[in-house]
Amino acid sequence: MANTHSPLFRFWREFSENRLAVVALLIVLALMVLALFAPYIVPQNPYDLETLSLMDARRAPGFIGSGGYVHFLGTDPQGRDLLSAIFYGLRISIMIGIAAGCIALVLGTSVGIFAAYVGGKIENFLMRIVDLQLSFPAILLALVLVALLGQGKFQLIAALVAAQYAYFARTAYGAAKGERKKDYVEAALATPLSGFQVAFKHLLPNCMPPLIVVATVQIASAISLEATLSFLGLGLPVTEPAWHAHFKRISLHDERSLLDFGLSGRCSYYFDRGDQHCWRSNQRPV
Amino acid sequence: MSLFFQVDQVTREFHPKISLGDKIASKLGARVETRSVKAVNNVSFQLEEGQTLGLVGESGCGKSTLGKLAAGILETSEGTVLLDQKPVMKDGKKTTTRIQTVFQDPFASLDPRMKVGEAVAEGPIANNLVSKADAIAYVKDWFARVGLDPDFTDRYPHQFSGGQRQRIAIARALAMQPDLLICDEPVASLDVSIQAQIINLFLQLRKDLNLTCLFISHDLSVVRHVSDRVAVMYLGKIVEEGETSAVFENPAHPYTKALLASVPKLVLDKDELVQFEAIEGEIPSPLSPPPGCYFAPRCPYVGEKCNQTNPPLETVGFERKAACFYIPADFEKANKQA
């Protein structure tokens, strides 16, 4: 038997042939670990007011503050350690980016495959809505939705999903439309199998390769989009609204986002790099 | 004998898809094709249980469409397809599992991302022919019966050759325990040596399972080998039907005659270069078929009547039907002798 190794092992063997992909994967994993264990790595929780001291405000990098530890990147006007703020920001960016990307993937794929499967008027109706949405820039759509829905994690995710599902729907639709005409779908329908079964057991797996590529790009761009919204002041509220009101002049939020923006830009770049390789090796059936 | 399977005056039309853009263009004076094609035109035939009907014809004559109509894959525009007096399709959905199809291209008819064992098990499980727990044994049993190693069930289609894939496709169809098997050019895309294997497998299984078959092929020798009866199709119509040996030895319709004459033969008379008798002219466009008999423009026996009216399919001998006004004289002679 040729299949002495598990599929995972064979996947890894092919994946590891590309050095760049391995490096990219390591960076993504490192960022994930940093995000996951941020509370144990960084000295300060920037959301915890008790640990902040105004005495430490606006200090240069390398300053040893009242907490007794080095502020490697300095502090902001409220005395928050910027390094800690970046790591905590990373948590939110990654979480929202992945959550929004995954929900958009599921929603968009369902819409696309359903439209391609049923055809006719429903197909036209659904896909014209998607086309209409694709004609707006995602950032504009997200801005409008956040403005309408208000701030908050779920609102933000909803806005990102609404802005991004159309890409998945288009891709899934295109792939499924092509697969729909093939003999094996006809054979499955002639068995007969239910439409649901044909759509999810036959169409979906065969539409996966292009969807994986789009997913890598879209999850990365969801992270960027979240950071952009934060930068524009429409992201998550830093903590309680009252807190916001109390320190009206705080601009930490924006600074966090600015740095975060740069960082997540990198992050999304590596996401693409690693995952595009996944897609390439995925083309050869494992 | 009661009617087991009946195709009753079935017509299938294909309409060109006219988009909004085309509609506007035609309003503005552009010429947009709006004529429809009758791929299958008022066709009737019957099958008795255990019988095999071979369906032959040139490519594009509507054999595959007729096969799909019979299999309940396509809906008829007019007419009905009945299995045991019950319609095969209702509201665009196939109503029976007793008809199964083997498709032409085994490279396209198997899902590339599904393990072949799953592909075979899927239908029987979904239609409650076998429980999930028994499915593995059931599939292995079918693999063995079509001459495949039962350990192959965990593989993907790309790991098999064309002949093996066609065996899998046959196993998939037969695992549904059909009474009627429709084979749409099952060997056309295989090597000749593999063709023989698959045909033999088919004959064996047909005998073991007492299957009724509709065997579609453009290969006359294959059809002659496997069928009890043959129907010859030309441009969406059946032009001749009858017992296999009778049709092949003594064709009634000029088209059948021409078709048989155009088959290259292995035995040559002398060392001379042999010219095959190709049928003259092209098959007419199904968009604008000739007014009378569809074969008239190419027919050597054409008479006046042929260009005006379409001859109906009429009984011309013992269990023989042909659609021709001027059945060639040598057929009559041979028919009388028989």
Provide the Cα torsion B213, B157, B107, A205; round to 10°.
110
The residues near B4 (Cβ < 8 Å, ≥ 6 apart) are B46, B47, B48, B49, B83, B84, B179, B180, B212
CB B70 within 8 A of CB B81: yes
Element (H, E) at A33: helix A19-36
* Whole-angstrom distance, CA of residue A272 vs CA of residue B282: 55
Q: Per-residue confidence at A116, pLDDT binned at 50, 70, 90?
A: very high
Q: Per-residue confidence at A237, pLDDT binned at 50, 70, 90?
A: low
Amino acid B118: pLDDT: 93
Determine, for residues B109 and A183 on separate chains, whether the beta-carbon distance falls below 8 Å: yes
Closest-CA residue to B226 (of B216, B239, B241):
B216
Buried b (16+ CB within 10 A) or exposed e, A41-52: ebebbbeeeebb
- The DSSP letter of residue B72 is T
CB B69 within 8 A of CB B42: no
What is the residue type of B286? P
Q: Per-residue confidence at A203, pLDDT binned at 50, 70, 90?
A: very high
State whether residue A94 is helix, strand or coil: helix
CB B325 within 8 A of CB B313: no
> What is the distance in angstroms between the CA of the first residue and the CA of the last residue of chain A?
15
Determine, for residues A190 and B94 on separate chains, whether the beta-carbon distance falls below 8 Å: yes
Q: Which of A186, A194, A197 is nearest residue B73 as measured by Cβ atoms?
A: A186
**What does each C-alpha distance from B12 to A48, A274, B87, B260 come to in angstroms?**
74, 51, 16, 27
pLDDT at A11 over 60: yes
Calculate how close chain A gets to B78, using CA atoms only, in Å. Answer: 20
CB A183 within 8 A of CB B103: yes
Amino acid A254: pLDDT: 46
Pick the residue from chain B with its C-alpha nearest to A196. B126
Amino acid A247: pLDDT: 35
Determine, for residues A184 and B72 on separate chains, whether the beta-carbon distance falls below 8 Å: no
Pairing of strands B180-184, B212-216: parallel
CB B236 within 8 A of CB B41: yes
CB B186 within 8 A of CB B202: yes
- Best residue of B93, B113, B159, B182 to probe chain A, by most A CBs closer than 10 Å: B113
Tens of pLDDT, residue by residue over A32-43, are 898 889 888 888
pLDDT at A251 over 60: no
Q: Which of B93, B111, B172 is nearest residue A202 as measured by Cβ atoms?
A: B111
Pick the residue from chain A with its C-alpha nearest to B104. A183
Pick the residue from chain B with its C-alpha nearest to A197. B126
Tens of pLDDT, residue by residue over A212-228, are 999 988 988 888 888 88
Closest-CA residue to B44 (of B78, B85, B7):
B7
Average pLDDT over chain A, rounded to an integer: 79
Amino acid B58: pLDDT: 87
Tens of pLDDT, residue by residue over A154-183, are 888 999 999 899 999 999 999 999 999 899
- CB-based contact, A50 to chain B, within 8 Å: no
B119, with CB counted inside 10 A (0-12, 13-18, 19+), is buried
Percent of chain A scoring above 70 in pLDDT: 80
Per-residue pLDDT of chain B (338 residues; tens, 9 = 90+): 468 999 999 999 998 877 778 888 888 887 777 788 889 999 999 999 999 999 998 888 889 999 999 999 888 999 999 999 899 988 888 888 999 999 989 989 999 999 999 999 999 999 999 999 999 999 999 999 999 999 999 999 999 999 999 999 999 999 999 999 999 999 988 888 899 999 999 999 999 999 999 999 988 989 999 999 999 999 999 999 999 999 998 888 989 988 888 877 666 666 666 666 677 777 888 888 888 889 888 888 888 888 888 888 888 888 888 998 887 666 766 666 65
Which has the minimum average pLDDT: A46-50, A95-99, A217-221? A46-50
Determine, for residues B71 and A190 on separate chains, whether the beta-carbon distance falls below 8 Å: yes
Amino acid B338: pLDDT: 57
Pick the residue from chain A with its C-alpha nearest to B169. A187
CB B171 within 8 A of CB B140: no
| Domains of chain A in sequence order | 1-36 (no CATH), 46-80+250-286 (no CATH), 83-241 (1.10.3720.10)
